[in-house]
Structure 1
C-alpha cells in the first residue's frame, strides 16, 4: 500500500545521525518497518522525485537499524552498469558470498554462475532468485538483516527482477528490504504489491527552517531565492546556497524562475565539478564509469594520475565519500555521477574506459563493455567481444541487456554484413523474448540500411516473420520469407541456433495456417537435418503438427522429454516441449515447469514464453474441470498480449475463454468472440483461428439444442468422416460433431466420423482421447451395441479426470438407457452427469440432464436414499479404491482384471453420486449403516 503523507512531512539530506526536518511521520513509518523486519520480515519502497530526500531516509533507517542490532547491507544502482547482468545483485550480496556453501548445491551453482564466480550452465532468473532468498534467510542467526538499495532504476534489469522476487517473499524471516527510486522509474518494483512510502517535497515552513539552520549566514534575499527556486526539494535547498557565496549571485529577484529544477541541479553539480583539479576530475570520471566503487580497481586505473590521493578535493566538496574500511567509493548523489560524465569530453570518456578495461583482463564480460566505450569508430575485434558479451547476457537470462549489447556491437562493426546480422539478432530477441515487438521494425530497417542484402539473412527473416505473424497475422508472407531464407542456406553441418529458431517459427506459422502446403517445407527441412534435429523440433513436427497421423510412434520420446522438464530452467524449451504435449494430453505432467515459466515472466523474464505457458495451463485447467482457474489464467495471458503487442497469441486465449462461456451458456460472449476471430482470420487464411470460431459456435449451439447449426459448425472444423490433416484441433471437435449429427438425424455422418476416430487409433494416444473415441462410437453405434460401448468408455482409467467429456458421455448413456425403457437404470447416470455439469457451471448441459431426469419420471433432486444399493463386490472395490489403490492393484487383490474393476467403479460412481475417486471415502461414510455393514 502507498502511504501518501501531507505536504509538510518532508526530509532534508542530513547525516543519518541528525534529526531530519519535517519527516516525523516518515520516521515513525520507518521505525514500524524495522520492527516488522526484525520479527517477521518486511519490505518497503521509498519513492519520490530526484533530490527529495530518499537517500537521507535510507541513511536514517541504516543508523537506527544498526542501533537495534541489525546487520546492514547497502548498495546502489550504477548508471554505467545498468545494462550489465547481475552486477547489481553482486554488489548487494558481496558481504554474504562467504555463505554460499550453506546453500543446496543447485542453488549454490545457480548463484555462483549468475554472479560470474564460476562457469556453468546459465541458470534461470527464478533459480537465481530462489538462491538469493535462501542466502538472505540463511545468514548467520542471531541478528536481523536489513538490505538497503538506493537508485533502483540504475540496478541492472535482471538484478532488479531478482530483488523484486525476493522482496515479495520475506514474510516469516528476519530480513528487511528497503529501497528507493524516483517516482515513475521503479521498473518491475512499481505495482509489485509492496508497501510504499511516497516522499513529498518540504512545505514552506520546513524548507525555511532547514535553510536557516544549515546556512545561518545566508542573506534574507539569498535565502528567499533558494526557497523559491528549490520549491521544497531538500537536495536543492542544501546545494543551492553553496553557489551563492558571492553577493551578485543573490541579485536575482525572488520568485523568478530561471531553469527547471532538474536542469538547475545538473548545472550546479557541473559547476562544482569543474572547480576541481584536473586529476581529481579524471579519477571521478573513472569512478563514475566503473560503477562499483571498487577502491582497489580504481587505484590501479588511476595510477597514471597519481592514484586516489587527489580525491580529497572531491570529499571536501561533499561529492563523494571514500570508506577505506570497506574499500569503497560512493558518490553523494547520482546526479553527481551524471554531471561528472557529462562534463567529460568524448576523448576523456574513451580514455577512462580504456584504463578500466586494462584492469579487467580477468573479467572479459565487463572488459568488453568498457572496450566498447573506449572505441571510436569501427573495430571488428571489439565488436566481436561485445557480441560475445551479448551472448553471455542472454545465457544469464538478460535478453534486454543482450539487445543493447548487440546494438553497440553493430555500431562497432567494420562490415555492413556483420552490422546487419547483429541488428537482426537484436530484432529477433526483441520479437521472441523481451516482449518488445514495437521496436522490431526500427531494428530491421537499420539492418537493411547497413546491408542491402540483409533481407536474405536468416536472422532477419526470422525477426521479420515473427513481427508479421504476431502483429499482422500475415501467415503466407511470413511463411514465404522464412522458407526462402532457409532454402538459401548451404548445409554446413550441425544446425546453428538461428536455423533452429527459424524452423521453430516455421512450425508456428504453419500451425496457425493449418494447411498441408504450409507444412510440406517444414517436414522437408527437418528431414534434411536427420539425426541432427533437436528433440523438441522432432516432437513439434509430429505430436503437434499432425497427432492424428504422426503422434503414436513419438509418444515414448515425448514422455521422456516431458519428464525432463522437472529440472529444466530454460523457459523457451519448457514451453516448446509443452506445446508438443498439448494435443496428446500430456499437459498435467508439465504443470510444474509451466508454472515456473509464468513466474519467470511475472518477474520480468521471457514474456512470450509466459504468454504461451498461461495458455497451456489454461487448456489443462479447462480439461481438468477447473474452469474458473482457466478463466483467470487466460485473462492474465490476454493482458500480456495486449500490453506487449502479441496479437496472434491472443486468439487461442480468447478461444479458450469463449469455450468456457459457450459451455456455461453465455452465448453473447461466445458468439461475439467467434465473430471477432472469423472477421480477422478469414481474409488472412489463418485456418486454425477460423476453426476456433467454428468450434465455439458448435459448442454454443449444442447447449441451445440447435443440432443442425451445431453440426454445420462442427463440420466446418473437419468434415464428417475425415479428421483434417495438420489441424489437431479437429480432435477436440469429434464429440461435438457426433453428438450434433445424431441429434440432427444425420446418423450416417455420425457413424462415419466415429469410425474415422477409431481408424486413427486415437484411443491409443491418451485416456481422454480414448474416452472421446469410444464415447463417440457409442453415440453412433446401433442400439444393441451402445450399452457395452458406453460402459467401456466410462471405464477408461483416468477418464473421470476430464469431467466435461466424462459427464457428457455419462449423459448420453443415460439418454440411451431412458430411450431403451431402462428408466430406473437411466436415473443414476443422468443424476451423476447433472451434478458434474452443475459443479462446472455448465448450465445448458445441466438443464439437458434435468430434462432427461424428469422424462425418466423422477425429480431432479435425487436423494442418497433413492440410489441403488451397492453389491458386495462393488462395495469392496469402492472401499479399496478409496484407499488410493489403482485398478490394477485392486484387481490383483481380488483376482479380477483391471478392466472389470473399472467397469464396477463406473457403475459405483453414479450410485454414490460422486464423479471421482477422491470423493469415494466421504460417500461411503454417508451410506446407511446397514449398507456399510453388508
Structure 2
C-alpha cells in the first residue's frame, strides 16, 4: 500500500530524507508540505516516519472541530515528552502546565509556553533526534499553531525536525518557513495507480481523461472509482470541484452503510480525541446495533485500534455533513454525557453547546466557565469562541450583551480585531444599557489603537472614559490613561489639538493608583501649562514610577505605563537619562520574564534608541535583530525606532533614507504623528553626520516647532548644530532660549552639557565648549561626548589653532570610529586632514565578522549569564546558544568564556 501510494515521489522523499540526515549531524530542520486535498501529503508524512530509523517521533493532527480548544494540538505533540517537563526552568514548567490544564495559575503568555516547548524538544533530542510531524496544520487551534510556528522559527542546533502538512487555499500561521509544494503524480505514475484500482479494462481515452482532470491527485485516483461509475467519471471531473467530488464520493460510500454504522461514524467524526472507550460509551447511550463497527471496518473508511483513525480527513467531514441536524445534536448530547466533567469540562461544554438548538442558560453558563478556564491558560481565541456561543444561547438581553462584549475583548486579545468589532456591534444592538455602551466604546477605542488609528482611538477612548465615569470611576481613569497614551502617539501637525483636548479632559488625581494618576496629572499639566509649570510634577511622577512595587496583577498595567509609552517619555522630557535607561531595562526584563513579546518589542526599541546615544551600536544591532525575529514570530509589525536611529548614526544614507521615508509615509497614513516626528528627528541626525546641514536644519526645525513631548530634548542639539553651520543665528538663539528655560528648571548634567554646547555654537565661547564636554562626560552619553569634541575641534581649526584642533579631532575621530558612527567619524577625519594630519580609515577587525545575534549572545555570556539564562532572554534553546558561542569563539580566536571580555574589547 505504502509503496503504491508513493509512486513518483523520488524528489519529495529525497528532500525529507535530507532533513533526517541533517538532524543526525546536530542540525534542526523545518519544512512545510503544501498541496491540495488528497495530493499525498499525509502519505509522505507516514513514509517519513517509517524511514526515520532511531528518531523519536512526535505527532499532531489538526481537526476542524478542535480549532476552538486552545493548546489541543500542542498537547498532542508534546505528549511523548511530558515526563521531561521537570527539567524546564520553573516559569516555563508552570506556563506549560497551566496551558495543558495540569495546574492552575495566571494566564501563561503563549511565547513563554513556546520557549518551554522549544526546550522540551531540545532536551528530548539530546538523547536521539526528534521528528515532529504535524498533519492538517491549517486546522490546528490558533494557540497551538502560533506556538509551533514560533518554535519552528527558533530551531537551530537541537537535532529536531519539524514537518508540517497544510492544504492549499487555507489560512495558516507558517508563512515564511521553508516550503515544498506537493503536486499531483506524473501521467505515467498516475495511469499506473489508476489501473491498480479499476475493476477491469477501461477505454484508454477515458482513463487518460480521468488522469488529466484529477491532475494526478493520488486520493482522487484511488477513491473516485469506488464511488463513481466509469460512465460518470467519463463525464469529466472539473478541476475546480475536485475536492468536493472526492468528498461526494465518500458520501456515496457512506450512504450505502447501515444506519447504525453511519451514526457510529458520525459519533467518531464529532469527537476528535480518537478514544475508543469514549466512542463505545457514546454508542451504548445512542443504542446502536450489536456490532455497528463491522461494516465500517469492511468499508475501509475507518480503523479501530489504540486510536480511531479515518482514512482521510474528508471522510470525517463527509460523515458529519451527511447527518441531519437532529442526528448531530443527538450525537453531541451522548458525547457530552460520557465526557468526564472533571477531567475535560471544556470539551463537555462544547458538546453540550452543539447539542442545544435553543437558548439554555445552564449550557450558556457552563460555556462561560469554560471561557474563564481557556483565558486562564492564555487561550483568548478559544475563550472568545466559548463566549460567543454562550451569548447565542442566552435569552436575557443584558446578560447576552455582557457575554458578547467579553467575547469581543477575548478576540481582541487574540488579535482577531475585525471579529471583535462585529461582536461589539451585536452587543449594543439590544436594549439600551449605559454601562454596556460605555464598555463597547472603550473596546472600540482600544481596537482602533491596535490598528494604528491613534487619533480616532484617542477621541473614542475619551468618550468612553466620560461614559464610564458615573458607573465605574476606577475603570474610567484607566481609560483616560489609555486616551492620553493614544493622544501622545497621534499628536502632530496633521492632528492639531488632539493632545491638548485629551489633557484638558483628564480628571484630577485620586489615591487608587498613585504612579498612574501622577503621570496623568503631570502630562496634562505639561500640555496645558508648559514645561516649567509641569516639571516638578513630572519629576515626582517619574520618581513614583521608578519606585513602584509591582505585584503579579499589576505587571500588565506597569508594562503599558513604562518605557516609551509613558514613563520613559517623562524621563527623557526631564533630561534624566539614567532613569530612562533604568525603566527600559526593567521593561525589557519584565517583558521577558512574563513572555509579553509585544511589550518586549517596545522595550527593545526604547533600549535601542537609548543605547544609540551611549554608542553601543553593536548591541543596538542585536536589539533591532531581535525585534525583527519577534515580529516574524508573532505576525505583528516591526517597530522602526531602533533601526531608524541606528542607520542614521551609522551614516548609511541609502538604507536610512528608505527607512525614514517609509516610516513617515506609514505614520502619516495612520495618524501617528509621534512616529513621523521620530523619523524626522532621525533624518536630522543622518544629515548632520553627512554634513548636509540645510536638510538637517529643516528636519530638526519641523520636530522642534511641534513641541513633541520627549523629543525636543533630542532634537534641539541637532537643530542648533545645523543652524550654526548654515548661518541661521536666530534659530540658534531660539534653541538656546528653549534650553535655558528647561535647564534652569531641571539642571541635570545632560541638559547643562547640551545648553553649554549651544551657547558655544552661538557665541564662539571656548569655555562653553569645555563646560559642555565636562558635563556630558559625567553621563553615559558617549555619542554626545564625542560630538562635543568634534564641534570643539572644528571650531579650533576654523580659528587657525591647528595643534589644539588636532587633539580634539583625534579624540573625536577615535571615539566616533570606535562606536561605529561612520559619517561623524568621516567628518572628524576630513577636519584632521585640513589640519595637515594624515588619518587612515580603520579596517574592520575580527568583531565585525560576528552576526548581530552572535554579538548579542557573546555580550550576555561575557556578563556572566549561563546558556539557559541567555536562551530564556533571547527565546532560543540553550543548545542553540552553545552553537552560536562555538562559532563566536572560532571567529574571535579564543577558547573560553573568560577570554570574551578582552576579545570583545579589542
- Give the shorter-chain TM-score range: 0.7 to 0.9
Residue 449 of structure 1: aligned partner? 429
| Residue of structure 2 aligned with 1:330, choices 309, 315, 330 | 309
Residue 210 of structure 1: aligned partner? 193
After TM superposition, the structure 1 stretch with the greater mean CA deviation from structure 2, 629-638 or 311-320, is 629-638
| Contact kept in structure 2, 1:160 and 1:188, CA below 8 Å | yes
Residue 347 of structure 1: aligned partner? 326
User: Judging changes above 3 Å, is the alpha-carbon distance between structure 1 residues 691 and 24 closer, same or farther for their aligned structure 2 residues?
Assistant: closer
1:724-763 superposed matches below 5 A: 724=707, 727-740=709-722, 744-746=728-730, 748-761=733-746, 763=748
| Contact kept in structure 1, 2:149 and 2:633, CA below 8 Å | no
Task: Output the CA distance in 2 between the equivalents of 1:43 and 1:922.
Answer: 34
SS at match of 1:180: strand
- Tell me whether 1:182 sits opposite 2:154 in the alignment: no
Task: Output the CA distance in 1 between the equivalents of 2:627 and 2:659.
Answer: 18
| Residue of structure 2 aligned with 1:810, choices 789, 793, 797 | 789
Q: Deviations over 1:5-35 (max 9, x none)?
A: xxxxxxxxx34x7783222343344333333
CA shift at 1:181, angstroms? 1.9
| Residue of structure 1 aligned with 2:487, choices 496, 501, 509 | 509
Residue 856 of structure 2: aligned partner? none
SS at match of 2:66: coil
User: Judging changes above 3 Å, is the alpha-carbon distance between structure 1 residues 478 and 70 closer, same or farther for their aligned structure 2 residues?
Assistant: closer
SS at match of 1:518: helix
CA shift at 1:659, angstroms? 5.5
CA shift at 1:262, angstroms? 0.8
1:46-85 superposed matches below 5 A: 46-65=33-52, 68-85=53-70
| Contact kept in structure 1, 2:756 and 2:768, CA below 8 Å | no
| Contact kept in structure 1, 2:648 and 2:682, CA below 8 Å | yes
CA shift at 1:789, angstroms? 1.0
1:480-629 superposed matches below 5 A: 480-489=459-468, 495=474, 500=478, 503-513=481-491, 517-520=500-503, 523-524=506-507, 527-528=509-510, 530-532=511-513, 550-559=537-546, 574=559, 576-579=561-564, 580=566, 582-583=568-569, 584=571, 585=577, 586-587=580-581, 590=584, 594=588, 609=599, 612=602, 615-616=605-606, 618-620=608-610, 622-625=612-615
- Tell me whether 1:34 sits opposite 2:34 in the alignment: no
Residue 849 of structure 1: aligned partner? 828
Residue 318 of structure 1: aligned partner? 300
User: Judging changes above 3 Å, is the alpha-carbon distance between structure 1 residues 461 and 212 closer, same or farther for their aligned structure 2 residues?
Assistant: same
Residue 255 of structure 2: aligned partner? 274
1:95-114 superposed matches below 5 A: 95-114=80-99
Task: Output the CA distance in 1 between the equivalents of 2:512 and 2:331.
Answer: 51
Q: Deviations over 1:417-437 (max 9, x none)?
A: 444444445555566x45555
CA shift at 1:713, angstroms? 6.0
CA shift at 1:361, angstroms? 1.1
After TM superposition, the structure 1 stretch with the greater mean CA deviation from structure 2, 21-30 or 689-698, is 689-698
Residue 868 of structure 2: aligned partner? none
- Tell me whether 1:235 sits opposite 2:246 in the alignment: no
Tell me the C-alpha RMSD between the 2 structures: 4.8
After TM superposition, the structure 1 stretch with the greater mean CA deviation from structure 2, 204-213 or 375-384, is 375-384
SS at match of 2:251: helix
- Tell me whether 1:93 sits opposite 2:92 in the alignment: no
After TM superposition, the structure 1 stretch with the greater mean CA deviation from structure 2, 343-352 or 86-95, is 343-352
| Contact kept in structure 2, 1:536 and 1:577, CA below 8 Å | no
| TM-score (ref. length: structure 2) | 0.77
- Tell me whether 1:786 sits opposite 2:772 in the alignment: no
SS at match of 1:251: helix
After TM superposition, the structure 1 stretch with the greater mean CA deviation from structure 2, 114-123 or 845-854, is 845-854
Residue 899 of structure 1: aligned partner? none
CA shift at 1:551, angstroms? 4.1
User: Judging changes above 3 Å, is the alpha-carbon distance between structure 1 residues 343 and 493 closer, same or farther for their aligned structure 2 residues?
Assistant: same
Q: Deviations over 1:620-658 (max 9, x none)?
A: 4543546698689879989999999999x9897897589
Structure ranking higher on relative contact order (CA contacts 8 Å, 6+ apart):
2
SS at match of 2:165: strand
- Tell me whether 1:292 sits opposite 2:282 in the alignment: no
Task: Output the CA distance in 2 between the equivalents of 1:678 and 1:23.
Answer: 49
| Contact kept in structure 2, 1:360 and 1:367, CA below 8 Å | yes
Count of aligned pairs between the two proteins:
823
CA shift at 1:279, angstroms? 2.9
SS at match of 1:33: helix
User: Judging changes above 3 Å, is the alpha-carbon distance between structure 1 residues 635 and 71 closer, same or farther for their aligned structure 2 residues?
Assistant: closer
CA shift at 1:550, angstroms? 4.0
| Contact kept in structure 2, 1:663 and 1:703, CA below 8 Å | no
User: Judging changes above 3 Å, is the alpha-carbon distance between structure 1 residues 254 and 742 closer, same or farther for their aligned structure 2 residues?
Assistant: closer
Task: Output the CA distance in 2 between the equivalents of 1:629 and 1:29.
Answer: 38
Runs (5+) with no aligned partner, structure 1? 1-13, 865-882, 885-917, 926-934
User: Judging changes above 3 Å, is the alpha-carbon distance between structure 1 residues 101 and 310 closer, same or farther for their aligned structure 2 residues?
Assistant: farther
Task: Output the CA distance in 2 between the equivalents of 1:735 and 1:250.
Answer: 83
Task: Output the CA distance in 2 between the equivalents of 1:35 and 1:920.
Answer: 37
Task: Output the CA distance in 2 between the equivalents of 1:19 and 1:670.
Answer: 50
CA shift at 1:416, angstroms? 4.0
Query: Over alpha carbons, which structure has the higher Rg?
Result: 1
User: Judging changes above 3 Å, is the alpha-carbon distance between structure 1 residues 444 and 62 closer, same or farther for their aligned structure 2 residues?
Assistant: same
1:652-691 superposed matches below 5 A: 664=653, 676=665, 688=674, 691=677
Task: Output the CA distance in 1 between the equivalents of 2:189 and 2:535.
Answer: 76
Task: Output the CA distance in 2 between the equivalents of 1:146 and 1:663.
Answer: 44
CA shift at 1:769, angstroms? 5.6
| Contact kept in structure 2, 1:46 and 1:197, CA below 8 Å | yes
| Contact kept in structure 1, 2:391 and 2:401, CA below 8 Å | yes
Task: Output the CA distance in 1 between the equivalents of 2:661 and 2:697.
Answer: 20
SS at match of 1:138: helix
CA shift at 1:120, angstroms? 1.1
CA shift at 1:502, angstroms? 6.3
Q: Deviations over 1:62-89 (max 9, x none)?
A: 2233xx3334333311111112110111
Residue 359 of structure 2: aligned partner? 378
- Tell me whether 1:796 sits opposite 2:782 in the alignment: no
- Tell me whether 1:264 sits opposite 2:250 in the alignment: no
| Contact kept in structure 2, 1:504 and 1:537, CA below 8 Å | no
After TM superposition, the structure 1 stretch with the greater mean CA deviation from structure 2, 401-410 or 48-57, is 401-410
Q: Deviations over 1:469-503 (max 9, x none)?
A: 5668472x54343223222225667946x974663
User: Judging changes above 3 Å, is the alpha-carbon distance between structure 1 residues 425 and 790 closer, same or farther for their aligned structure 2 residues?
Assistant: same
Task: Output the CA distance in 2 between the equivalents of 1:18 and 1:132.
Answer: 36
CA shift at 1:141, angstroms? 6.7
Residue 930 of structure 1: aligned partner? none
User: Judging changes above 3 Å, is the alpha-carbon distance between structure 1 residues 146 and 679 closer, same or farther for their aligned structure 2 residues?
Assistant: closer
Q: Deviations over 1:380-430 (max 9, x none)?
A: 454444344444444433444344444333433324444444444555556
SS at match of 2:106: coil
| Contact kept in structure 2, 1:368 and 1:382, CA below 8 Å | yes
- Tell me whether 1:198 sits opposite 2:181 in the alignment: yes
Q: Deviations over 1:740-784 (max 9, x none)?
A: 5655334643442332231232627xxx66754564566568836
- Tell me whether 1:136 sits opposite 2:115 in the alignment: no
| Contact kept in structure 1, 2:32 and 2:165, CA below 8 Å | yes
Task: Output the CA distance in 1 between the equivalents of 2:371 and 2:563.
Answer: 28
